[in-house]
Amino acid sequence: MSEEGNIKKFMFVNRKAPYGTIYALESLEVVLITAAFDQDVSLAFLDDGVYQLKKGQQTKGIETKNFSPTYRALEGYDIDKLYVEQESLEARGLTEDDLLVDVTVMGRKELGKLMGQQDVVLSF
Amino acid sequence: MSEEGNIKKFMFVNRKAPYGTIYALESLEVVLITAAFDQDVSLAFLDDGVYQLKKGQQTKGIETKNFSPTYRALEGYDIDKLYVEQESLEARGLTEDDLLVDVTVMGRKELGKLMGQQDVVLSF
Amino acid sequence: MLHIINKSPYTNSALDACLRVAQGGDILLIEDAVYAAVGGAAEKRVRDAMKQFKFHVLQADLEARGIADRVIDGVHKVDYGGFVELAAKNKNCQSWL
Amino acid sequence: MLHIINKSPYTNSALDACLRVAQGGDILLIEDAVYAAVGGAAEKRVRDAMKQFKFHVLQADLEARGIADRVIDGVHKVDYGGFVELAAKNKNCQSWL
Amino acid sequence: MKFGIVVNEGPYQHQASDSAYLFCKAALENGHEVFRVFFYHDGVNNASRLTEPPQDDRNIVARWSKLAEEHKIDLVVCVAAALRRGIKDENLAPGFRISGLGQLVEAGIQADRMVTFGD
Amino acid sequence: MKFGIVVNEGPYQHQASDSAYLFCKAALENGHEVFRVFFYHDGVNNASRLTEPPQDDRNIVARWSKLAEEHKIDLVVCVAAALRRGIKDENLAPGFRISGLGQLVEAGIQADRMVTFGD
DSSP codes of every residue in C13-82? SHHHHHHHH--SEEEEE-GGGGGGGBSSTTHHHHHHHTTTEEEEEEHHHHHHTT-GGGBPTTEEEE-HHH
Which residue in F69, E112, A17, D62 sits closest to C33, CA to CA?
A17
What is residue A5's predicted lDDT score, i.e. its pLDDT? 62
The answer to whether residue B5 scores a pLDDT higher than 70 is no
CA distance linking residue D97 with residue B79, whole number of Å: 36
DSSP assignment, residue A72? H
Determine D/B contact with 3+ CB pairs under 8 A as the test.
yes
Q: Which of B92, B108, B115, B119 to mutate to test the interface with C (most CBs of C within 10 A)?
A: B115
Distance from CA of F101 to the nearest CA of A (A): 6
Interface check for C52 against chain B (CB to CB < 8 A): the answer is: no
Average pLDDT score over residue span E28-32: 98
Q: Which residues pair with D38 in a beta bridge?
A: D71
Question: Per the CB < 8 Å rule, is B48 touching D11?
Answer: yes
Give, for E109, the enclosing helix (H) or strand (E): helix E102-110
Average pLDDT score over residue span E58-76: 98
pLDDT in tens, F40-70: 999 999 999 999 999 999 999 999 999 999 9
CA distance linking residue E102 with residue B39, whole number of Å: 12
Among the partner residues D7, D64, D70, nearest to B61 by beta-carbon distance: D64
Average pLDDT score over residue span C50-78: 98
Average pLDDT score over residue span C37-65: 97
Q: Which of A2-6, D39-43, E102-106 has the lowest mean pLDDT?
A: A2-6
Average pLDDT score over residue span C81-95: 98
Integer CA distances (angstroms), B52 to C22, C42, E27, in order: 21, 29, 36
Distance from CA of F29 to the nearest CA of A (A): 24
pLDDT in tens, F12-30: 999 999 999 999 999 999 9
Which residue in C43, C66, D13 sits closest to A53, CA to CA?
C66
DSSP assignment, residue A18? B
Q: What is the mean pLDDT of chain F?
A: 98
From chain B, the residues in CB contact with C91 under 8 A are 119
Q: With cut-offs at 50, 70 and 90, classify the pLDDT of residue B52.
A: very high
CA distance linking residue B71 with residue D73, whole number of Å: 32
What is residue F75's predicted lDDT score, i.e. its pLDDT? 98
The answer to whether residue B106 scores a pLDDT higher than 90 is yes
The answer to whether residue B61 scores a pLDDT higher than 60 is yes
Question: Per the CB < 8 Å rule, is E15 touching A65?
Answer: no
**Angle formed by the axes of helices C80-89 and E16-29, to 10°?**
80
Q: Dihedral of the CA atoms D57, D64, F29, D73 (nearest 10)? A: -20
Whether the pTM exceeds 0.95: the reply is yes
Task: Note which residues in 57-116 of chain B have CB less than 8 A from chain F.
Answer: 62-65
Instruction: Report how many Cβ contacts below 8 Å link chain A to chain D.
Output: 43
Q: Which of E79, E101, E105, E115 to mutate to test the interface with B (most CBs of B within 10 A)?
A: E105
With contact defined as beta carbons under 8 Å apart, do F30 and F2 qualify?
no
Strand C75-78 and strand C93-95: the pairing is unpaired
Question: Per the CB < 8 Å rule, is F105 touching A39?
Answer: yes
With contact defined as beta carbons under 8 Å apart, do E30 and C82 qualify?
no
> Which active-site residues of E does the annotation give?
78
Q: With cut-offs at 50, 70 and 90, classify the pLDDT of residue B4.
A: low
The answer to whether residue D63 scores a pLDDT higher than 70 is yes
Task: Phi first, then psi: give them for residue A55, nearest 5 degrees.
Answer: -65, 155
Among the partner residues F23, F118, F119, nearest to D83 by beta-carbon distance: F23
The rounded percent of chain B whose pLDDT value lies above 70 is: 96
The answer to whether residue B2 scores a pLDDT higher than 80 is no
Give, for A12, the enclosing helix (H) or strand (E): strand A9-14
* Count of other CB atoms within 10 angstroms of residue F62: 15
Looking from the CA of A99 toward its CB, the CA atoms found within 13 Å total: 25
With contact defined as beta carbons under 8 Å apart, do B6 and B44 qualify?
no
Average pLDDT score over residue span B9-32: 98
Interface pTM (ipTM) of the complex?
0.97
From chain A, the residues in CB contact with C66 under 8 A are 54-58, 68
Q: With cut-offs at 50, 70 and 90, classify the pLDDT of residue A6.
A: confident
Average pLDDT score over residue span F92-113: 98
Scanning every residue of chain F, which has its alpha carbon at the shortest distance from the alpha carbon of B61?
Answer: F22
What is residue E108's predicted lDDT score, i.e. its pLDDT? 98
The rounded percent of chain A whose pLDDT value lies above 90 is: 95
Question: Per the CB < 8 Å rule, is E49 touching F90?
Answer: no
The answer to whether residue E62 scores a pLDDT higher than 90 is yes
DSSP string, F21-32: HHHHHHHHHTT-
| Residue B17 burial (C-beta neighbours within 10 Å; 0-12, 13-18, 19+) | buried
Scanning every residue of chain A, which has its alpha carbon at the shortest distance from the alpha carbon of D23?
Answer: A112
Average pLDDT score over residue span D45-63: 98
What is residue F48's predicted lDDT score, i.e. its pLDDT? 98
Q: Which residues contact C7 (CB under 8 A, 6 or more apart)?
A: A20, C14, C15, C31, C32, C33, C96
Average pLDDT score over residue span F87-97: 98
Interface check for D66 against chain B (CB to CB < 8 A): the answer is: yes
Interface check for A49 against chain C (CB to CB < 8 A): the answer is: no
The rounded percent of chain B whose pLDDT value lies above 90 is: 95
Distance from CA of A118 to the nearest CA of D (A): 7
CA distance linking residue A71 with residue A81, whole number of Å: 12
Give, for A87, the enclosing helix (H) or strand (E): helix A86-91
Among the partner residues C8, C35, C64, nearest to A57 by beta-carbon distance: C64
Question: Per the CB < 8 Å rule, is C92 touching B15?
Answer: no
Known catalytic residue at F78: yes
Q: Which residue out of F78, F81, F82, F104 is catalytically annotated?
A: F78
Q: What is the mean pLDDT of chain C?
A: 98
Question: Per the CB < 8 Å rule, is B30 touching E105?
Answer: yes
The answer to whether residue C85 scores a pLDDT higher than 50 is yes
